[in-house]
Amino acid sequence: MLVWRCVGHTVVLSLRSFSSWECCFELISLALFLALSLALPLAQEKQYVGFATLPNQVHRKSVKKGFDFTLMVAGESGMGKSTLVNSLFLTDLYKDRKLLNAEERINQTVEIIKHTVDIEEKGVKLKLTIVDTPGFGDAVNNNECWKPITDYIDQQFEQYFRDESGLNRKNIQDNRVHCCLYFIPPFGHGLRPVDVEFMKALHEKVNVVPLIAKADCLTPSEIKKLKDRVRDEIERFGIKVYQFPECDSDEDEEFKQLDKELKECCPFAVIGSNTVVEARGQRVRGRLYPWGIVEVENQSHCDFVKLRNILIRSHMHDLKDVTCDMHYENYRAQCIQDMTSKLTQDNRMESPIPMLPLPTPDVETDRLIKMKDEELARMQDMLNKMQQQIHDGKDQ
Query: How many residues form the binding site for ligand GDP (CB under 6 A)?
Result: 13
Minimum distance of ligand GDP from residue 93's CB (angstroms): 10
DSSP string covering 202-257: HTTTS-EEEEES-GGGS-HHHHHHHHHHHHHHHHHTT--PPPPPPPPTTS-HHHHH
3-class state of residue 312 by DSSP: helix
Minimum distance of ligand GDP from residue 272's CB (angstroms): 4
Minimum distance of ligand GDP from residue 108's CB (angstroms): 12
Asked if 129 touches ligand GDP (CB under 6 A), the answer is no
- The amino acid present at 249, given as its one-letter code, is S
Minimum distance of ligand GDP from residue 338's CB (angstroms): 36
Q: State how far the Cα of 101 lies from the Cα of 341, in Å rounded to an integer.
A: 49
Taking the mean position of all CA atoms in its chain, how far away is CA 396? 80
> Site for ligand GDP (CB under 6 A): which residue of 70, 74, 83, 145?
83
Minimum distance of ligand GDP from residue 216's CB (angstroms): 5
Pairing of strands 282-289, 292-295: antiparallel
Give yes or no for a contact between 94 and 86, defined as CB atoms under 8 angstroms apart. Answer: yes
CA dihedral for 255, 88, 301, 209, sign (positive or negative): negative
Query: Contacts with ligand GDP in 276-315 (CB under 6 A)?
Result: 287
DSSP 4: E
Q: Sketch the per residue contact string, 87 through 126, with ligand GDP: x for CB under 6 A, - otherwise.
A: ----------------------------------------
For residues 174 and 295, which CB has a smaller minimum distance to ligand GDP in the complex?
Answer: 295
> Site for ligand GDP (CB under 6 A): which residue of 272, 301, 311, 327?
272
For residue 179, give every residue at least 6 positions away whose Cβ sits within 8 Å of its Cβ, in sequence order, or none: 69, 70, 71, 72, 206, 207, 209, 242, 311, 319, 323
Instruction: Give burial (CB, 10 Å; 0-12/13-18/19+) of 329.
Output: exposed
Minimum distance of ligand GDP from residue 76's CB (angstroms): 7
Backbone angles phi, psi at 192, to 5 degrees: -90, 165
For residues 81 and 327, which CB has a smaller minimum distance to ligand GDP in the complex?
Answer: 81
> Site for ligand GDP (CB under 6 A): which residue of 69, 70, 72, 81?
81
Q: State how far the Cα of 141 lies from the Cα of 375, in Å rounded to an integer.
A: 83
Minimum distance of ligand GDP from residue 85's CB (angstroms): 8
Minimum distance of ligand GDP from residue 197's CB (angstroms): 19
Binding segment for ligand GDP among 25-33, 80-88, 227-235, 318-326 (CB under 6 A)?
Answer: 80-88
Phi-psi region of 280 (alpha: psi -120 to 50; beta: other; left: phi over 0): left
Asked if 79 touches ligand GDP (CB under 6 A), the answer is yes
Asked if 223 touches ligand GDP (CB under 6 A), the answer is no
For residues 207 and 273, which CB has a smaller minimum distance to ligand GDP in the complex?
Answer: 273
> Site for ligand GDP (CB under 6 A): which residue of 2, 70, 74, 82?
82
Q: State how far the Cα of 253 lies from the Cα of 314, in Å rounded to an integer.
A: 17
Q: Sketch the per residue contact string, 177 through 216, with ligand GDP: x for CB under 6 A, - otherwise.
A: -------------------------------------x-x
State the DSSP H helix or E strand holding residue 377, giving kind and residue range, or none if neither: helix 363-395
Minimum distance of ligand GDP from residue 88's CB (angstroms): 12
Minimum distance of ligand GDP from residue 287's CB (angstroms): 6
Give yes or no for a contact between 150 and 202, defined as CB atoms under 8 angstroms apart. Answer: yes
Partnered with residue 5 across adjacent β-strands are 12
Give yes or no for a contact between 144 and 194, defined as CB atoms under 8 angstroms apart. Answer: no
> Site for ligand GDP (CB under 6 A): which residue of 271, 307, 311, 322?
271
For residues 2 and 226, which CB has a smaller minimum distance to ligand GDP in the complex?
Answer: 226
Name the residue number minimizing CB distance to ligand GDP. Answer: 80
Residues that bind ligand GDP (CB under 6 A): 77-83, 214, 216-217, 271-272, 287
